[in-house]
Amino acid sequence: MPYRIQIVKHVYYKIDIMIKIAITGPIASGKSLVEEILRNKGAITLDTDRVAHEILENNTRVMEIFGTTDRKKLGEIVFSDKQKLKQLENIIHPGVKRAVQEFFEHNQDKKLVAVSVPLLYEAGMENMFDFIITVTANEDIRLQRLINTRHLTKDEAIKRVKARDLKLKGDFIIENNLNIENLQKKVHNILGQIKGSSK
């Protein structure tokens, strides 16, 4: 019995792949501004600080361990004790990770998403992203920003800055020591590089 050769015609479709950008860096470095600039350039964004705040609300485990879920009172407790800070982060991080994954799934048809994750490496979330932008600034500038924008005393601001020794690494490092115009130029340049490398 003769055999037949079946020729299969392959049809290739262009698939738009979502670009996932993480924004990380120390407190008061300007992560929210970078997120806003990317949002203005068309990115769908998520601020995991807000997610963390939602996780804290009425959290029974946090209440059991710390006796409060009030953010200001928690700050006074954990920013004076690195062990307690680590305890709190261990409660928050799994929920943040789930929220980021759900955000990706909900926006899977989008071309560009950006997520602000202050403790990206500490939470083990770096592999969830295609590109990482790390924002930093001189310590004295960060202290002044905390005092001006969060109405902290100098001692409170110092405790927050000194509480974490974050890893300053990533695909792109932005030094945000100047004005908003300078920051915009840097972010626009990075976005151009990201889009160029993703073609």
- Domains identified in the chain and CATH numbers: 20-188 (3.40.50.300)
Nearest residue to 110 via CA among 40, 32, 42: 42
Average pLDDT over residues 134-140: 96
**pLDDT tier for residue 5 given thresholds of 50, 70 and 90:** very low
The yes-or-no verdict on residue 7 having pLDDT over 90 is no
Average pLDDT over residues 24-34: 96
Could you write out the three-class secondary structure of 1-58?
CCCCCCCCCCCCCCCCCCEEEEEECCCCCCHHHHHHHHHHCCCEEEEHHHHHHHHHCC
**76-to-23, 129, 179 alpha-carbon distances in Å:** 26, 32, 31
Question: N- to C-terminal Cα distance for the chain?
Answer: 50
Average pLDDT over residues 16-31: 93
- Asked whether the beta carbons of 115 and 155 are under 8 A apart, the reply is no
pTM of the model: 0.88
pLDDT of 168 reads: 84
The yes-or-no verdict on residue 64 having pLDDT over 60 is yes
**pLDDT tier for residue 170 given thresholds of 50, 70 and 90:** very high
Average pLDDT over residues 16-26: 91
**pLDDT tier for residue 199 given thresholds of 50, 70 and 90:** low
The yes-or-no verdict on residue 12 having pLDDT over 50 is no
The yes-or-no verdict on residue 127 having pLDDT over 90 is yes
pLDDT of 2 reads: 45
